[in-house]
Structure 1
Amino acid sequence: MLAEAKMGGVFSLFFCGCIFALALGQFALVYKFGDGGIYSFDILLLVFCLAALSFFIIKRKKIQVTVPGMLLCSFCLIGGISLAFSPIKLSSSELLVAGAYLVRLATYVLFYICLHNLVTAGLLKTGTIEKAVVVSGVFLFIAGIIQLIVFPNLGLISDLYDWDPHKNRMFATFFDPNFLGMYFVICLGISIKRMKRSALASTLLVCTYVFCLAEKEGFPNICFYFGTTSFFSGTKDTNQAYRHHRPK
């Protein structure tokens, strides 16, 4: 039990390292080829998965694959078959890039399966996962504020690295405001999940929604629209139920 507790601490630190590497974005680039590239978080995720699988095999623990995991594995298998037997003639560089993206997707799926089993085995807590993601979001937000002040125009180097010429938009280390906005949606969703339904949570949600409207980001707008409506609808129903059943 003591050894497993130590391994749990190791996996927790390893997971936090993976999330931190992800938050580094383009600064974590290790090797660039064509339209693809290898990042440090790609390597860390793969090592994390191999370490987790090795641990379960050595300890003879059953590895569970959930229904979403099976569907994702099937999708990767179909993607691999379609890439191998594609009627479209691809160049060697195009095959390399497509194969690299498929390997990355398969690594993410394996990462999900490993996380599920680590949480189920009690070696990794969901609170640790949530805190790591939220802290990375705070890091990205601070980095984005600094980027807006120091380097607001990505168009100055877009021709050199084939990036979109975003100007006066927060892109932080991702160099993509849309991708960054989606990551913020995930972080805010986790934050609200961890908060009690209160006036503070309601104010935070509305203010963030208004901020996203100002940013004109389509995906966050949709997410926060449905999040806001469902949140206040649930709160209203709860208040009505309380008034109906409260003691007189």
Structure 2
Amino acid sequence: MSIHRVLAQAGIAMAHPKSSSHVRFAAVGDLHVHRDSAGSLHGFFAQAADEADALLLCGDLTDYGTAEEARILAAELSGVSVPIVAVLGNHDFESGTPGQVVEVLAQAGVRVLDGSICEIEGVGIAGVKGFGGGFGRGSLGAWGEPAIKLFVQEALNEAMKLESALAKLRTRRRIALLHYSPIAGTVQGEPVEIFPFLGSSRLEEPLLRYPMDAVFHGHAHRGTLQARTINDVPVYNVARPLLLRSRPGEPPYFLYELPREAAEEAAPPPAA
């Protein structure tokens, strides 16, 4: 039996010391912070910050998208000393005030991306919420009633925001941060009937046109931890409920690392 399993059975999470040769990210989504979450995540975030150089939050940060829930999350994040980068999820829009959620988190030092980018220790990060619409041959087309066309247009708008953000990156190492999935592979395990509401292949298209190291998303609580895009880029579903269920005894965040790059290195040109 491995030392990791022995420690897990004893309720002890094995630490991963930070590296001087690699940049490490702790990624998690679907925190669904609510009124009763106060005091429940502080230790979780502190442990993640101890192991990683940055914290990536993949949407559904709150349960009903209220400023009160955002303030609770901000308080839970108050002890985190590493950079925090996030995107919103569908739950963060529920109360119709996503701007308030963003404002509260921004005041707490969280960088909320929405078709925008940032750089963490030489790694470029592009972030959007994304949207649904389905995958491959099952993708919804913009035909028929105006409501259908509006739904598809929202997916297209999110894909265009992702494309615009990726085009702005000038780093060699690149990560995309989403809430909805860009591929069907990481929603496998969910009921097939709800696949169209879990993501869209339209989000994958920009990822095929630029060199990428990894993609992170949440949303699909019963999905699959890892799959790949058509051009073999790893996609990770880091929804917290999925991590809790699929990796018992381990902290419910996903650690991902990339080699540190010299700041002066030029990024490769976009793929043709």
TM-score by length of 2: 0.23
Larger C-alpha radius of gyration, 1 or 2? 1
Could you say which structure has the higher helix fraction? 1
Greater relative contact order: 1 or 2 (C-alpha under 8 angstroms, separation 6 or more)?
2
Could you say which structure has the higher strand fraction? 2
